[in-house]
Amino acid sequence: MKPIITLASVVLALASVTAQAADPIVIKFSHVVTEDTPKGSGAALFKRLVEERLPGQVVVEVYPNSTLLRDADELEALRRNEVQLLAPSLANFQKYTKQLQVFDLPFLFDDQDSVDRFQKRAKGKQLLRSMESSGIIGLAFWHNGLKQLSATRPLRRPNDAAGLTFRIQQSSVIEAQFAQIGATSRMLPFSEVYGALQSGTVKGAENPWSNIYSKKLHTLQPYITESNHGVLDYMLVSNSAFWFSLPHSIRVVLEGIVDEVTYSVNQQAEALNKAERDRVRQSGTSEIITLTAEEREAWRNAMRPVWKQFEAEIGADIVKAAETVNRKQQGH
Ligand code: LMR
């Protein structure tokens, strides 16, 4: 059944806005990563700029590191207007739209610049409005980075992963990706990844460098394959009833701040991931496996059937639009 905006959530949203005549509007921004990651620093910058430019009118409370909500609970809390801003990874939205699953298709994008191009084009931008019927409005795409495969044994060829269990986000595409190479997967909240790797419940994972380093996952994963096989980016989202009932003069300032913070996050994410990769290497805990072009192509070919499997539900036009942003396709 399609999720609907309940009357209660609209009333709550309106109440929190009308209360601002006397009290500042409170925006609760919850996320699951540490503060020194692209998303963590974006949330902190958003808070600083809002409080500088709308003093006494808007207060931002940031709850990092799953201190308020686990990723699995975030979006329903947003729909109840218990929090007003989130930036879940794009893998977390499949309950509300199948279209965003395009970002989970393995090896679809050549690099982060291609992802960026897609997000800025019309087909990408329209995805920000893909969850309006569920009361969720997308404000921007924020980058983290491309995911790397990590495990207790070296993964150089696709069949090296056979029989291993990987921790995954709430995504059927990612589940199919691992099934495709003979591995199994477990959907777990981000806050449980370290514990699951430590206890051996799962043997592998897939994360961008900043999430690996900031959560010390490398200390539990002796091998990390620099696979760059999938995207871990975010959509900054709000409760649409809350967002559109903000006084116009305030919303305009907030939208300007969102643009500024988005620019800053997206400018810095890649450099931050490179720096964290170096820190992982320097820590000496894990061997970093670099794939040759042929080896990467073998992984890509092994996982390509997953594109076909999900093309109809994502929309062939969206998959095609994403595919054509790659450098190779553009003849660069
Ligand atoms: C994950 O669960 O791996 C990511 O969604 C965490 C994050 O928000 O970067």
Range of the domain at 95: 25-324
Closest atom of ligand 1 to 92 CA is 5
4 occurs within a structural domain:
no
3 occurs within a structural domain:
no
For 16-66, the DSSP string reads: HHHGGGTS-EEEEEE-SS-TTSHHHHHHHHHHHHHHHHSTTTEEEEEE-TT
Q: Ligand 1 centre from 26 Cα, in Å?
A: 25
Q: Do the beta carbons of residue 231 and residue 109 sit within 8 Å?
A: yes
| 13 — pLDDT class (breaks 50, 70, 90) | low
Most informative mutation of 100, 169, 188 for ligand 1 (most atoms within 8 A of CB): 169
pLDDT tens-digit readout, 250-265? 999 999 999 999 999 9
Determine which residue's CA is closest to atom 2 belonging to ligand 1.
Answer: 190
Determine which residue's CA is closest to atom 6 belonging to ligand 1.
Answer: 190
Please tell me whether the overall predicted TM-score, pTM, comes out greater than 0.75 for this model.
Answer: yes
pLDDT tens-digit readout, 191-233? 999 999 999 999 999 999 999 999 999 999 999 999 999 999 9
CATH, residue 145:
3.40.190.170
Strand order in the sheet with 287-290: 184-187, 165-168, 204-207, 148-151, 223-226, 287-290
pLDDT reading at 140 higher than 80: yes
Beta bridge mates, 63: 30
- Which residues lie with the beta carbon below 6 Å from any ligand 1 atom? 32-33, 71, 89, 144, 169, 190, 207, 211, 232
138 occurs within a structural domain:
yes
Q: HSE on the CB side for 317, CA within 13 Å?
A: 5
Closest atom of ligand 1 to 37 CA is 9
17 occurs within a structural domain:
no
Token output for 94: 């499949």
97 occurs within a structural domain:
yes
pLDDT at 20: 45
Q: How far apart are the first and last CA of the chain?
A: 44
User: Using CA atoms in the order 174, 180, 186, 192, what is the torsion angle rounded to 10 degrees?
Assistant: -60
Domain count of the chain? 1
Beta bridge mates, 166: 185, 204
pLDDT at 332: 43
Determine which residue's CA is closest to atom 3 belonging to ligand 1.
Answer: 190
pLDDT tens-digit readout, 264-303? 999 999 999 999 999 999 999 999 999 999 999 999 999 9
282 occurs within a structural domain:
yes
| 22 — pLDDT class (breaks 50, 70, 90) | low
Q: How far apart are CA 279 and CA 256, in angstroms?
A: 34
pLDDT at 179: 98
Q: Ligand 1 centre from 319 Cα, in Å?
A: 23
CA distance readout (Å), 242 to 25, 239, 251: 11, 5, 10
Q: Do the beta carbons of residue 210 and residue 38 sit within 8 Å?
A: yes
7 occurs within a structural domain:
no
Closest atom of ligand 1 to 87 CA is 8
pLDDT at 326: 85
8 occurs within a structural domain:
no
